[in-house]
Chain A
Amino acid sequence: MTVQELLDSKMFAIVNEGEDTAREITTVFCCDLLSIAMGRAPAGCAWVTVMGNINTLAVASLADASCIIMAEGAQLDEMAVKKANGQGITVMGTELPIFEAALNIYRKLPKQEKEAIV
């Protein structure tokens, strides 16, 4: 599934539509501690978090996540929205808890990518 397909699925609200939306989502990753996310987030992951400050955007970009999903109704602060715009990072939002948000993405991943997770 590509980032664009996830956007189009209307599963989540669109906070910012980024640049590289044709990119394939490789896996789902959940974490709110930025330095753990930095070391562990797999390249190309959809990153589900409640941490919405400007540093979240930096970590997503540098660790090369394909998109960010803000769970639990968590909001990006104003500066973070600007950064998402400027850096072309795709951000979506949902009222769902982290696990349910991640599970919904997982269910849409192709079979071989699901198997790679379990």
Chain B
Amino acid sequence: MNDAIVLKYQISPDDFTRAGEASSDVKGKLKQLGISPEAVRKVAIAMYEGEINMVIHANGGEIVVEITPAEIKMVLADVGPGIPDVEKAMKAGYSTAPDEVRNLGFGAGMGLPNMKKYTDDMKIETTIGVGTTITMLVKL
């Protein structure tokens, strides 16, 4: 693990114009590192959905990406409201996003399902009133 590359990003809340910048940056860096296009795409999609969720649902937060020759690990930590029912939140189509978010094309309730679909492992730790930490792995 000592040859890990670690990238850190602060995600600002409610700023849809900047949402996705962290994911774009990671995408660019992975490309430069010569990671396969399929793996880059998986990481980009999963991280973007997580990043957008932090902006919409959780007052922003921090994303740490760790790259090793074997895998890419993404840890998305926020101090938002937490997720009351994770099983329900994971269902395709379930969303509590407000109308102004829907008008931007989000809030289809596909984010968490997309994150699961595009990663090899996903873990959600969440406590009401404390925050949510989502850990995702893409194997290389």
What residues make up the interface of A, taking CB atoms closer than 8 Å to B?
32-36, 38-39, 43, 51, 53-56, 58-59, 61-64, 79, 87
Q: Which of A32, A38, A58 contacts B110 (CB 8 A)?
A: A38
**Could you say which of B15-23, B63-71, B80-88, B126-134 contacts chain A?**
B15-23
Determine whether the beta carbon of B113 is less than 8 Å from that of A55: no
Cα A58 to Cα B20 with chains together (Å) = 6
Q: Is the CB of A61 within 8 A of B27?
A: yes
Among B24, B108, B109, the residue within 8 A (CB) of A87 is: B24
Which B residues fall within an 8 A CB radius of A? Answer: 16-17, 19-20, 23-24, 27, 37-38, 40-41, 44-45, 48-49, 52, 104-111, 113-114, 117-118
Could you tell me the distance between the alpha carbons of A89 and B121 in the complex, rounded to whole angstroms?
A: 31
Contact of B23 among A39, A53, A62, A64 (CB under 8 A): A62
**How far in angstroms is the closest Cβ of chain B from A76?**
13
Checking B17, B38, B44 against A54 with a beta-carbon cut-off of 8 angstroms, the contacting residue is: B17
Is A39's CB under 8 angstroms from B117's CB?
Answer: yes
Using known A-B contacts A38-B49, A63-B45, A79-B17, determine if residue A55 contacts B24 with beta carbons closer than 8 Å.
no
A89 to B21, CA, bound (A): 15
- Interface SS of B by simple majority: helix
> Does A35 lie within 8 Å of B111, measured CB to CB?
yes
Task: List, in ascending order, chain B residues with CB within 8 A of A53's CB.
Answer: 16, 104-105
Contact between chains at B24 and A39 (CB < 8 Å): no
A31 vs B117: C-alpha distance when bound (angstroms)? 19
Q: Which of B20, B40, B105 contacts A51 (CB 8 A)?
A: B105
- Could you show 23 A-B contacts with beta carbons less than 8 Å apart? A32-B105, A33-B110, A35-B105, A35-B109, A36-B110, A38-B45, A38-B49, A39-B113, A43-B38, A43-B41, A53-B16, A54-B17, A55-B105, A58-B20, A58-B24, A59-B48, A61-B44, A62-B24, A62-B41, A62-B48, A64-B41, A79-B17, A87-B24
- Which residues of chain A are near B113, meaning CB under 8 Å? 39
Give the Cβ gap from B31 to chain A, nearest Cβ, in Å: 10
Q: Is the CB of A35 within 8 A of B24?
A: no
Enumerate chain B residues within 8 angstroms of A34, measured Cβ to Cβ. Answer: 104-106, 108
Q: Which residue of B lies closest to A41 (CB)?
A: B45
User: Contact at A38–B48, with CB atoms within 8 Å?
Assistant: yes
Measured between beta carbons, the chain B residues less than 8 angstroms from A38 are 45, 48-49, 110, 114
CB <8 Å contact, B19 and A55: yes
CB proximity of B124 to chain A, nearest CB, Å: 17
